[in-house]
């Protein structure tokens, strides 16, 4: 199909599987797909410390199928991929810090699991289209800004390496086995339904929680480092476009925000929109400084030219919607009893 025109209509009655579909971005994709009339199968392991949360599909739980399974488990994948037309492949471990403490688990979840899914497709559903959730982490410390897809892949942590390998597998299966696949290299995604029960899955979600609870936000260094942020609804829209359009096959695309903003300006905006919280600049903890990448923002013009996607949500608006969501549903995202805290 041609770029960007009918991609929403494409999903009516379409059989779509979402790995990691109870997570932050996966569940947002599920909400959009249900609205478009797709037949959605959510696959999620619900591993406690990761991002899966049954509340993320509140409101659509009767219009999706949920299958609890671990994507590392080949026989489950071999069964589940059959007859699917599109797979949005978002299952993964996203903590940089965890990957440096336990690189083997990160290897299993971010490499072996991708081979399980792709081998299942190759053997039992070679005509499916797979859209992989890649990450800007694969670039590491940028050598030039904004970062395009031509920038060298130089991850600075084990998680980034394994995510790069997972992405490359998709491209090789596309080329060699004809399993149509592409990857979206997401920058910092924020919005409703993100894990905020601990601080190991991205700093913006944690900052949002601290602001909500009227705590102090600590900014490392002087807060001048730049990042771009993309609202989760915009990121989900990139997945829908990529899944519907064969011009994405075999390609990687940056999916970034409208414009870069400094950490300090981000936090000031957040505190201002929230009306609660405050911030202070502190010295870098050495173990975080060791894997920090300095300024980073992407050029997303390739996906705009190829698939018609661009971010549309202003940061202030996205933050306001995020804060509203968590204020309404905080008890589903933050442990409130001793037993829930102990379970973490």
Binding site for its own copies (CB under 8 A): 100, 103-104, 107, 111-112, 115, 119, 150, 152-158, 161-162, 164-165, 168-169, 171-172, 175-176, 290-291
CB of 295 to its own copies, least distance (A): 18
Closest approach of Cβ 228 to its own copies, in Å?
22
For residues 287-306, b (16+ Cβ closer than 10 Å) or e, as one string? eeeebebeebbbbbebbbeb
Question: Which lies closer to its own copies via its Cβ, residue 23 or residue 134?
Answer: 134
**212 and 326 in contact (C-beta within 8 Å)?**
yes
The Cα 17–Cα 24 span in angstroms is 15
Q: How far is the CB of 109 from its own copies (least distance, A)?
A: 13
**C-alpha span between 228 and 109 (Å, rounded):** 27
Nearest residue (CB) to its own copies, 65 versus 141: 141
Cβ of residue 184: shortest distance to its own copies, in angstroms? 17
Q: How far is the CB of 155 from its own copies (least distance, A)?
A: 6
Which residue, 9 or 290, is less far from its own copies as judged by CB?
290
What's the closest the beta carbon of residue 115 comes to its own copies, in angstroms?
A: 5
For its own copies, give the closer residue by CB, 122 or 198.
122
Toward its own copies, which CB reaches closer, 25 or 158? 158
Which residue, 32 or 254, is less far from its own copies as judged by CB? 254
Least spacing, CB of residue 23 vs its own copies, in Å: 24
Closer CB to its own copies, residue 164 or residue 181? 164
């Amino acid at each position: 199909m041609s770029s960007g025109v009918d991609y929403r209509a494409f999903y009516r009655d379409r059989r779509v599987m979402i790995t990691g579909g109870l997570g932050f971005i996966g569940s947002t994709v599920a909400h959009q797909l249900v609205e478009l009339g797709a037949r959605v199968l959510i696959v999620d392991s619900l591993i406690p410390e990761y991002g899966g949360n049954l509340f993320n599909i509140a409101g659509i739980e009767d219009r999706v199928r949920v299958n609890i399974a671990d994507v590392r488990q080949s026989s489950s994948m071999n069964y589940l991929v059959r007859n699917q037309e599109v797979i949005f492949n978002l299952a993964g471990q996203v903590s940089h810090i965890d990957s440096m403490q336990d690189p083997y688990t990160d290897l299993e979840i971010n490499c072996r699991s991708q081979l399980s899914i792709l081998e299942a497709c190759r053997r039992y559903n070679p005509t499916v289209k797979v859209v992989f959730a890649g990450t800007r982490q694969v670039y590491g410390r940028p050598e030039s800004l904004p970062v395009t897809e031509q920038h060298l892949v130089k991850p600075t942590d084990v998680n980034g390496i394994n995510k790069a390998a997972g992405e490359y597998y998709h491209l090789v299966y596309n080329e060699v086995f004809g399993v149509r696949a592409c990857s979206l290299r997401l920058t910092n995604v924020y919005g409703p339904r993100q894990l905020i029960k601990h601080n190991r899955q991205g700093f913006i979600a944690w900052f949002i929680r601290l602001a909500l609870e009227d705590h102090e936000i600590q900014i490392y260094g002087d807060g001048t480092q730049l990042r771009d942020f993309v609202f989760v609804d915009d990121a989900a829209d990139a997945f829908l476009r990529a899944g519907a359009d064969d011009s994405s096959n075999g390609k990687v695309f940056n999916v970034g925000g409208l414009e870069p903003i400094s950490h300090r300006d981000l936090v000031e905006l957040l505190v201002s929109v929230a009306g609660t919280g405050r911030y202070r600049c502190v010295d870098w903890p050495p173990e975080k400084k060791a894997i920090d990448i300095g300024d980073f923002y992407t050029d997303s013009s390739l996906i705009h030219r190829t698939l018609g996607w661009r971010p549309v949500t202003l940061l202030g608006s996205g933050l306001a919607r995020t804060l509203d969501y968590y204020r309404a549903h905080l008890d589903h995202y933050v442990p409130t009893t001793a037993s829930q805290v102990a379970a973490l």
